[in-house]
């Protein structure tokens, strides 16, 4: 178990403890909510992890090292930002893909831009969730306000990368 | 009913991409590569499963503890910079997927949160949600990369909120009163 997972476990038990202090019915509702989400997420996870692994197997390694490599600079950051928007599904798809890219030699700033593009643009999520709930006009305003930010994140990462010498080394 | 349909559409999309990609791997790279990919998927599953279960328990408990009305009061149109910072913090603390986040944004909007705060909330949730960082990013990509990525994303939600307040497009949340009814 990593430090991050330990922190999460402590937070979860703390929050559940607070719910328990509100009374047993509140804690029961929290548990039922948790069970429902597990049942909803597990099929997605079981389908998505092999998909991400297959995609990673298909993507040619020189694509990551060339187009998205450390030498690709601003153009690579821009390509990664846009490409991130087209990654379907949740974190169970995007993070395994990024891991594959990093192992194949992609650059750190480009991968920061890719994750940021997936999180902010995420066209799959926009179409499936944001548009039906909040409407097209809201999406227009949000994309106008945030569409360019993945590139900015990549540029910040380029400036900060010297301070993180271990960022691209896998344990 | 619509929710159910949307949920299964995600599963269908993922399954069909996975089937196509899987058969491509089998034909192009052979059964050995196919098995290797499945092994990788199983490794990732085992890596994230404990954190995922803890994250979902956190999400389920927080939902019982925090009323959305209290949040909206802090994110109103007059909330200025404070509203953007509060929205960023709440977005990062917000656990759960889009099926939970976007309906909450709608509730906040109907309760009077302004668009800058709403957009700061969405960006902070999508980009820097603690649960996602701890469950997925740190175990898979390593703490150093996760910290670098997190720092780069930190200012973005506030920038998006400031820009959103300046965009001259009118918007009223679906299902709320007519435009102008709210001061």
Interface of B with A in 131-150 (CB under 8 A): 131-149
pLDDT tens digit sequence for A141-161: 999 999 999 999 999 999 999
**Any idea where the domains of chain B sit in the sequence?**
1-48, 66-183
- Label residue A171 by pLDDT band (50, 70, 90): very low
Task: Answer yes or no: are the C-beta atoms of B119 and A149 closer than 8 Å.
Answer: no
Chain A hits for B45, CB-CB cut-off 8 Å, are 45-46, 49
Tokens found for residue A15? 């929050």
Q: What is the pLDDT of residue B179?
A: 45
Contact check, Cβ <8 Å, A160/B29? no
Instruction: Determine the Cα–Cα distance for residues B40 and B32; give it in Å rounded to an integer.
Output: 12
Q: What is the mean pLDDT of residues A76-80?
A: 95
What does the pLDDT look like over A40-66, one tens digit per residue? 788 888 888 898 889 888 887 777 888
Interchain contact A21–B (C-beta under 8 A): no
Per CB-CB distance under 8 Å, the chain A contacts of B61 are 12, 15-16, 18-19, 30, 34
Tokens 């960023």 -> residue: B88
For chain A, give every domain's residue range.
1-49, 59-171
Stretch 68-97 of chain A: residues touching chain B, C-beta under 8 Å: 88-93, 95-96
DSSP-derived secondary structure letter, A60? -
Residue with tokens 């949740």: A90
Please give the residue of chain A at the shortest CA–CA distance from B168: A141
Q: Is A34 touching B (CB cutoff 8 A)?
A: yes
| The predicted structure's pLDDT at residue B150 | 95
- Is any Cβ of chain B less than 8 angstroms from the Cβ of A130? yes
pLDDT at B94: 85
Distances in Å between the Cα of B13 and the Cα atoms of A13, B3, B19 are 34, 16, 10
HEC profile of B80-141: HHHHHHHHHHHHHHCCCCHHHHHHHHHHHHHCCECHHHHHHHHHHHHHHCHHHHHHHHHHHH
pLDDT digits (tens, 9 = 90+) for A13-39: 998 999 999 989 989 988 998 888 888
Average pLDDT of every residue of chain B: 84
| Cα A67 from Cα A72, distance rounded (Å) | 6
Backbone angles phi, psi at B76, to 5 degrees: -70, 175
pLDDT tens digits for range A101-138: 888 889 999 999 999 999 999 998 888 888 888 888 99
Positions of chain B with pLDDT lower than 70, given as ranges: 1-7, 176-183
Helices H, strands E: what count in chain A? 10, 0
Tell me which residue in B22, B123, B134 faces A54 most closely, judged by beta carbons.
Answer: B22
Neighbours of A133 (CB within 10 A): 19
Q: How confident is the model at residue A1 (pLDDT cuts 50, 70, 90)?
A: low
- Residue A5: is its pLDDT beyond 80? no
The pLDDT value recorded for residue A4 is 73
């Amino acid at each position: 178990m990593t430090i991050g997972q330990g922190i999460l476990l402590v937070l979860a038990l703390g929050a559940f403890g607070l719910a328990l202090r509100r009374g047993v019915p509140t804690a029961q509702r929290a548990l039922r909510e948790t069970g429902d989400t597990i049942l909803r997420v597990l099929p997605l996870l079981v389908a998505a992890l092999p998909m991400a692994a297959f995609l990673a197997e298909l993507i040619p390694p020189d694509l990551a090292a060339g187009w998205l490599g450390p030498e690709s600079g601003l153009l690579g950051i821009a390509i990664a930002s846009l490409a991130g928007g087209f990654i379907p599904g949740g974190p169970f798809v995007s993070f395994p893909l990024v891991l594959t890219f990093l192992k194949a030699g992609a650059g750190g700033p480009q991968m920061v831009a890719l994750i940021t593009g997936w999180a902010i643009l995420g066209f799959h999520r926009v179409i499936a969730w944001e548009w039906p709930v909040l409407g097209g006009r809201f999406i227009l305003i949000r994309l106008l306000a945030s569409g360019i930010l993945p590139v900015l994140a990549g540029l910040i990462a380029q400036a900060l990368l010297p301070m993180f010498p271990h960022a691209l080394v896998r344990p | 009913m619509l929710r159910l349909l949307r949920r299964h559409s995600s599963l269908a999309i993922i399954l069909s991409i996975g089937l196509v990609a899987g058969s491509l791997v089998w034909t192009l790279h052979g059964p050995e590569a196919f098995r290797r990919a499945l092994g990788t998927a199983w490794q990732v599953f085992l890596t994230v499963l404990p954190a995922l279960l803890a994250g979902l328990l956190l999400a389920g408990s927080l939902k019982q503890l925090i009323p959305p009305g209290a949040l909206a009061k802090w994110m109103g149109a007059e909330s200025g910079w404070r509203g953007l910072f509060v929205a960023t913090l709440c977005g990062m603390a917000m656990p759960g997927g889009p099926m939970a986040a976007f309906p909450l944004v709608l509730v906040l909007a109907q309760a009077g949160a302004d668009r800058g705060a709403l957009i700061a909330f969405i960006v902070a949730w999508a980009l820097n949600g603690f649960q996602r960082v701890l469950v997925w990013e740190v175990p898979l990509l390593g703490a150093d990369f996760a910290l670098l990525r997190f720092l780069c994303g930190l200012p973005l939600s506030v920038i998006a909120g400031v820009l959103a307040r300046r965009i001259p497009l009118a918007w009223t949340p679906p299902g709320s009163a007519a435009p102008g009814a709210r001061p």
